[in-house]
Each structure stands twice: as structure tokens, then as C-alpha cells.
Amino acid sequence: MPNKHSSPAGPASGATPVKTPCTCAKLRRTARRVTQAYDRALKPAGLRLTQYSLLANLVWRGPLSITDLAELLAMDRTTLTRNLRPLDKAGWLAIGEGPDRRSRAVAITAAGRRVYKRALPLWKSAEHALRRKMGPGEAAALRDMLDDAWTSAS
């Protein structure tokens, strides 16, 4: 049943968000909107932002255990494994034994590096567009606040 903020076909694309005192709700709603913009930018490379982020972290940090990668991304192992599966099937990742027999490790392949290199300028374009829209000072302040929130939320 539609509410006062949506039409029978769903929320209007230009709908004003409902005011809420919940910081988490505002942050999640904004994160979804920003993610959609990055997804559109990365589409020519055949990636979504979640996939790009996985590849980028493996480029920057090298092979990682699935547990370490999940912790780095603040993601549960089940969700991470589900997100790794299509990248593994595409040949962009290699998942194998970790440092001990119980752990699994993930590394980017040469094909994955090529996809990452193709996507990097698309990501940069989306990042610069967001910073331009927000203003460079505001964007930097937001990144600092998010870093502070990350450490205080744990």
C-alpha cells in the first residue's frame, strides 16, 4: 500500500527523503544513492562498486585470507564469499588454501588486474564528480568524519 511519500508505482525519483533523526538511516540511504552513481559509472567495465572495491583492495594489499578481507571491508564472511563468487567465475580472482588448512585466501589474477585498470578511470570520474558536487572541502570533511565514525562505532 502506498504511503504519503510514494506513488502506486513506487517512490518518485525526485522525492524528498523523509526527515529522520536516525543517523544510521540517513547514512545508509545516502550510501545507496552514492553507490548507484558509482555503479552507473563502472558499468562500461562490467563491474559494480562492490566488485570494484574487492578488486581494488586486492590490488592495494595483495593476497588476503577471506577472514582478513571480510574484516577489512566490515563484511561478514558469508556475504563476502557470495560477492567473490562471480569474480572467481570470471577468472578475476583465485581462491585457494590460506596459511593453514582451515583458511582460504583470495588473490587477484592478471585478468582481474586488467579489469581493475579498465575500471580505475571510471571510478576516478565518479569520485571526482561527487567531490565537485559536494565541494572539495566538504568532501574532505565528510571523509574525515566517516573515518572518525568508523573508529568510534567499533
Mean pLDDT calculated for residue range 105-123: 97
Q: Is 21 exposed, middle or buried (CB count within 10 Å of its CB: 0-12, 13-18, 19+)?
A: exposed
Q: Amino acid letter at 145? A: M
Share of the chain above pLDDT 70, in %: 89
pLDDT bucket at 4, cuts 50 / 70 / 90:
very low
C-alpha cell recorded at residue 9? 508505482
Contact by Cβ (8 Å): 77, 66: yes
Contact by Cβ (8 Å): 54, 84: yes
| Element of type H or E holding 81 | helix 77-89
Domain ranges in the chain are 47-122
pLDDT of residue 6: 41
Q: How far apart are CA 68 and CA 71, in angstroms?
A: 5
Contact by Cβ (8 Å): 86, 55: no
Q: How far apart are CA 138 and CA 151, in angstroms?
A: 20
pLDDT, tens digit (0-9, with 9 covering 90-100), for 135-144? 999 999 999 9
Q: How far apart are CA 108 and CA 56, in angstroms?
A: 9
Residue 16 has pLDDT above 90, yes or no: no
Residue 49 has pLDDT above 90, yes or no: yes
Name the class of domain 47-122: mainly alpha
Mean pLDDT calculated for residue range 71-75: 92
